[in-house]
Structure 1
Amino acid sequence: MKNYYSSLLAASAIILSVLLIVLGIILGQFFHLFAESVDPKIQQMYWVYLLFTLVLVFVVMMFVMAKILQQYVRPIDHFTNVTHQLAQGNYSARAQIEDGRLNHQLTMAINQIARNLQENSILREMEAERLKTLVSSIGSSLLMFGRSGAVNLVNKVFEETFHRKSEDLMGRTYKDIGLPEDIETEIEQIFLTEEVRTFQSMVFLENEICHLEVYGAPVIGENGKWLGIVIVMHDITELVLLEQVRKDFVANVSHELKTPITSIKGFSEMLLDGAVEDPAVQQNFYEIMYKESNRLQLLIEDLLRLSNMERGSFEITSTEVDVVDIVNQSLQIVRTKLQEKRMEVVLHMPDHLTISADHDRLVQVMVNLLHNAIAYSQEETVITVTVEKIKDYVKLTVSDQGIGIMQNELPRLFERFYRIDRARSRESGGTGLGLAIVKHIVEAHHGLVTVDSEVGVGTEFHVQLPCVEKTFET
């Protein structure tokens, strides 16, 4: 191509040289007309001819130069404009295909470069979009710092967790974005040591405690160049709470099992050793052992029942049941305890109210709520049971005039083994699992159980059950 271009320029130069030579020869033929002996008219005709010849040569030369410019200079301007657009990032720009082998080859080369740049740009955009989607969908807070310690990447999870906007964080160092002090210290250690570090941090966010599992690691490029560090913070608050519930459960179960077992073992040892000869005392010991064994049996049965409910292996048998009949049956079951404390029950119910539910499970719910009201109420007080239909659900309310519950204890009321007054519930023979069982049964019926209470006034439990039959969980 280079030789071809040089030959074209040489040919153009030769054409111009020939025109100039021809013009010189023509003019040389008339040099003798400049002598003084030549007639002025002839000289005048010569000047006219000479002027005409010069104009003609000028026009021819302009035509030749215009063709040269059209063929070589204008395409160069066009190619220059296209390359400028490519340099500015407009990879859709294309050169026009001109006639001629030289221009055609140059046009094809520029367009090929433009296509390669456009393909690379699309590929980079796709990779950037995939990276953005991956970072956003991680599910954990992510921060990336450059070598100078400035933030250059933030995902949405971090923004939502720490309530910060990425625009306010980009370009700022890790010491200026308000991270907890222990996380700042660990980040600094990663910068100093360039080693992977894993640790846990407890953060206070909007009056809530958030437990984070933090992973930090240096970012190494393809050529081993250190680019910065990345910090991933996974929220493990729920896991920490579950672990605490597990510990509390083990401690509570151990305590609840230890009390009756200790009583049974102690009294049986005394009886076996013959230390007690009085028949009345022996009878008292037997009654205590029998009572504690019953407590132990009830505790084991409730634990098994609750375990089945939490594993979803218990069955809900849906039939047409009368809520009023369920309340009456439950009152018959607890009537003895009501008579012992000389308590009265006031009923506010219609004659009949039918829903689709599991009869035995609802009886269990009402019995547990009534037992709870009796256990935490003084003697000769009143328990009120209300049954009413509100829109598309039935509402059962059990109200007592008991000791009441403090507001800070209400959220934990349905936890296993949680007790307001341990001594009172133990005296009543409770296992501490009744309200947890109530919650599971009601939720299995797609219902809702809530509680309102005031210390020294009493407590109200509200159970809402849907009237329309639904597919129950098993």
Structure 2
Amino acid sequence: MIKSLDIKVKALFLFILYLATLYLFNYRVLEVAFFLISIVFILLLFYLLKQNQDTHHKIYNYTNDLYYAVFKKRIKHDNLSSVCNSLSLINSDITNKIDNIENLEKSRSKFLGNVSHEIKTPLFILQGYVDTLIDGAVHDSDVNLEFLDKIKHQSLRLNNLMEDLIKISMIESDELQLNIEKNSFKDVIEHISLNFQDALSKRGDSLILPDIKDDIFVQIDKDNMLSVFNNIINNAINYSNDGDIIVSAKKQNDVLNIRITDHGIGMEEKYLNRIFERFYCVSSDRSRASGGTGLGLAIVKHILRAHGISIGVESRINIGTTFYFNIPISK
């Protein structure tokens, strides 16, 4: 139809061009030619509008017929049924993708809000201490060292937050490259001892570690696995006022079953599924007071997952908490 319409239009324009050339010097005839051109354009425009309107009517009628056939008559044709099923699956897939995008956007907004809050809090505290020192407290020996110590504490907290943010961003964007190889578990235990024995001794407690006589070799990324132990033990220190922290390692077939137990405040069962979320703290005030970033256990979960390891947790109020996971033994 479009092709035949183009031929007709070209023919009309050639005819008018012929008239215009024939009577080029006749003004009145030129007026007639111009009038004819105008008429042709008007008719052409009307024709195109009518064709467009007819097309819209056809599409509308076809859509109504399809709707009536599918949803009203319930025609039992295999082809129609197959098309309907495909359309349903496509619609479901698109809906799920939209929901995922919306959830990701909500998660991103929540994450940025939490980051902003976690950064603003120590900065606000730092500003308060610095302003007080500038206003004259720097010359007061009774408070200046105390304020400087608190400034140092908040600065370390900011530094820890930045390191954790960088790490979890690398993990979640698949930029963290693990170097999984054969490592001495005894060497891992010695590093853990150096990191925490002094801190626990100062409060009169101990870090009880497994006594490994015959060394065991495990398949891990040593630095990142140490980060797992460090975060869990730090968490245990933060949520227990006193009491020893126990790290046990029991060989079971081709894995080492690791259990890290504290005798702290514990938590209700309803919180156990959420403690590995970013910035989730059962007691946010306690976490901030201890310098926690709220990212430690999220980092633990991601690092272990990258190793192909899952982690579990048990807890009882005023009894304590135990984290457990299995490390593969090197063959």
| CA distance in 1 between partners of 2:80 and 2:104 (Å) | 38
Contact 1:404/1:459, CA 8 A, preserved across alignment:
yes
Query: In structure 2, which of residues 216, 231, 248 is the aligned counterpart of residue 368 of structure 1?
Result: 231
Deviation at 1:365, TM superposition (A): 0.9
TM-score, structure 1 as length reference: 0.50
SS at match of 1:377: coil
* Equivalent position of 1:415 in the other structure: 277
- Alignment pair present for 1:353 and 2:216: yes
Contact 1:349/1:387, CA 8 A, preserved across alignment:
no
Q: How many residues align?
A: 255
- Alignment pair present for 1:455 and 2:317: yes
- Alignment pair present for 1:131 and 2:83: yes
* Equivalent position of 1:304 in the other structure: 166
CA distance 1:305–1:402, shift in 2 (3 Å)? same
| CA distance in 2 between partners of 1:442 and 1:417 (Å) | 18
Contact 1:327/1:366, CA 8 A, preserved across alignment:
no
Matches within 5 A, 1:319-330: 319-330=181-192
| CA distance in 2 between partners of 1:274 and 1:132 (Å) | 78
Name which structure has the greater RCO, CA cutoff 8 Å, separation 6+: 2
| CA distance in 2 between partners of 1:373 and 1:440 (Å) | 19
| CA distance in 2 between partners of 1:468 and 1:130 (Å) | 52
Deviation at 1:286, TM superposition (A): 1.6
CA distance 1:239–1:341, shift in 2 (3 Å)? farther
Q: Which amino acid aligns with 1:279?
A: S
| CA distance in 2 between partners of 1:275 and 1:328 (Å) | 43
SS at match of 1:398: strand
* Equivalent position of 2:298 in the other structure: 436
CA distance 1:233–1:316, shift in 2 (3 Å)? closer
Identity value in percent: 34
Deviation at 1:375, TM superposition (A): 1.1
* Equivalent position of 2:198 in the other structure: 336
Q: Which amino acid aligns with 1:459?
A: T
Query: In structure 2, which of residues 288, 299, 307 is the aligned counterpart of residue 426 of structure 1?
Result: 288
CA distance 1:234–1:290, shift in 2 (3 Å)? closer
| CA distance in 1 between partners of 2:316 and 2:103 (Å) | 27
Deviation at 1:419, TM superposition (A): 1.0
| CA distance in 2 between partners of 1:405 and 1:438 (Å) | 19
CA distance 1:238–1:467, shift in 2 (3 Å)? farther
* Equivalent position of 1:211 in the other structure: none
| CA distance in 2 between partners of 1:439 and 1:233 (Å) | 29
| CA distance in 1 between partners of 2:118 and 2:289 (Å) | 13
* Equivalent position of 1:384 in the other structure: 246
1:228-270: CA deviation from partner (whole Å, max 9, x where unpaired): xxxx965855555444433332232222111210111122222
* Equivalent position of 1:259 in the other structure: 121
Query: In structure 2, which of residues 263, 267, 270 is the aligned counterpart of residue 405 of structure 1?
Result: 267
Q: Which amino acid aligns with 1:286?
A: L
Deviation at 1:431, TM superposition (A): 1.2
Deviation at 1:125, TM superposition (A): 5.9
| CA distance in 2 between partners of 1:139 and 1:325 (Å) | 55
Structure 1: 5+ residue runs without aligned partners?
Answer: 1-123, 142-231, 470-474
| CA distance in 1 between partners of 2:80 and 2:298 (Å) | 50
SS at match of 2:265: coil
Query: In structure 2, which of residues 103, 108, 133 is the aligned counterpart of residue 246 of structure 1?
Result: 108
Larger radius of gyration: 1
RMSD: 2.5
1:33-76: CA deviation from partner (whole Å, max 9, x where unpaired): xxxxxxxxxxxxxxxxxxxxxxxxxxxxxxxxxxxxxxxxxxxx
